[in-house]
Amino acid sequence: MSKGTVYIISGPTAVGKSLVAFYLAKRVRGEIINCDSVQLYKYMDVGSAKPDEHEMSVVRHHLYSIVEPDYNMTVATYQKLALAVIDDVLARGKTPIVCGGTGLYLNSILYDMSFAGSRGDSERRLELERMAEENGSEYMHQYLNALDPESASRIHPNNARKIIRAIEAYELGNGIKDLSECPLNPDYDFKFFALNMERGWLYDRINRRVHKLLDDGLIDEVKGLLKRGYTLENPSMKAIGYKEIVGYLKGEYDLYDAVDDIKKNTRHYAKRQLTWLRRYDFVNWIEISKGESVGAVVDRILAQ
Task: Write out pLDDT tens, residues 226-259.
Answer: 999 999 988 899 999 999 999 999 999 999 999 9
CA 148 to centroid of chain Cα atoms: 28
For residues 89 and 188, state if they share a domain: yes
Highest average pLDDT, of 79-88, 104-113, 152-161, comes from 79-88
Query: Residue 91 pLDDT > 50, yes or no?
Result: yes
212 shares its domain with 288: yes
Mean local confidence (pLDDT), 209-223:
98
Q: Which domain, by its residues, includes 198?
A: 4-114+180-302
Identify the pLDDT of residue 116.
53
Residues 133 and 51 in one domain: no
Q: Is the Cβ–Cβ distance between 141 and 157 less than 8 Å?
A: yes
- Shared domain check, 281 and 186: yes
What total number of domains does the chain contain?
Answer: 2
CATH number at 216 reads 3.40.50.300
Pairing of strands 4-10, 284-287: unpaired
The single-letter DSSP state of residue 99 is: E
Beta bridge partners of 4: 188
The pLDDT value recorded for residue 242 is: 97
Task: Using the 3D structure, point to which of 132, 158, 176 is the last residue of a domain.
Answer: 176
* pLDDT at residue number 171: 64
Q: Specify whether 45 is located in the same domain as 22.
A: yes
pLDDT over 60 (residue 297) = yes
In degrees, rounded to 5, the angle at the alpha carbon of residue 99 between the alpha carbons of residues 95 and 101 is 155
Same domain, 224 and 286: yes
Helix, coil or strand: residue 34: strand
Q: Provide, rounded to the nearest whole percent, the portion of the chain with pLDDT above 90.
A: 69
User: Are 199 and 290 in contact, with CB atoms under 8 Å apart?
Assistant: no
292 has pLDDT over 60: yes
Cβ neighbors of 76 (< 8 A, separation 6 or more) are 108, 115, 118, 119
DSSP secondary structure letters along 158-173: T-HHHHHHHHHHHHTT
Domain match, 220 and 146 both: no
Look up the CATH number of the domain holding residue 130.
Answer: 1.10.20.140
Position with higher pLDDT, 233 vs 93: 93
Q: What percentage of the chain exceeds 70 in pLDDT?
A: 92
Domain termination residue (choose one: 131, 149, 176): 176
**One domain for residues 53 and 105:** yes
- Whether 74 and 119 have beta carbons less than 8 Å apart is answered as no
The answer to which of 29-33, 113-117, 183-187 has the lowest mean pLDDT is: 113-117
Side-by-side strand order, sheet with 95-99: 61-62, 30-34, 95-99, 4-10, 188-196, 284-287
Q: Quick check: pTM over 0.75?
A: yes
Domain boundary among 144, 159, 176: 176
Residue 276 parent element (H or E): helix 255-277
Residue 49 shares a structural domain with residue 194:
yes
Say if residue 117's pLDDT is above 70. Answer: no
Q: How confident is the model at residue 118 (pLDDT cuts 50, 70, 90)?
A: very low
Whether residue 143 sits in one domain with residue 99: no
What are the CA-CA distances from residue 121 to residues 76, 145, 172 (Å)? 14, 21, 9
Whether 208 shows a pLDDT value over 70: the answer reads: yes
Q: How far is CA 210 from CA 52, 81, 268, in A?
A: 16, 30, 14
**SS3 call for 237:** helix
The reply to whether 84 and 221 lie within a common domain is yes
What burial letters (b/e) apply to 25-45, b meaning 16+ CB within 10 Å?
beebebbbbbbbbbbbbebbb
Same domain? For 197 and 91 the reply is yes
Burial of 2 (0-12, 13-18, 19+ CB in 10 A): exposed
Q: Is the pLDDT of residue 172 over 90?
A: no
| Residue 161 or 35, more confident | 35
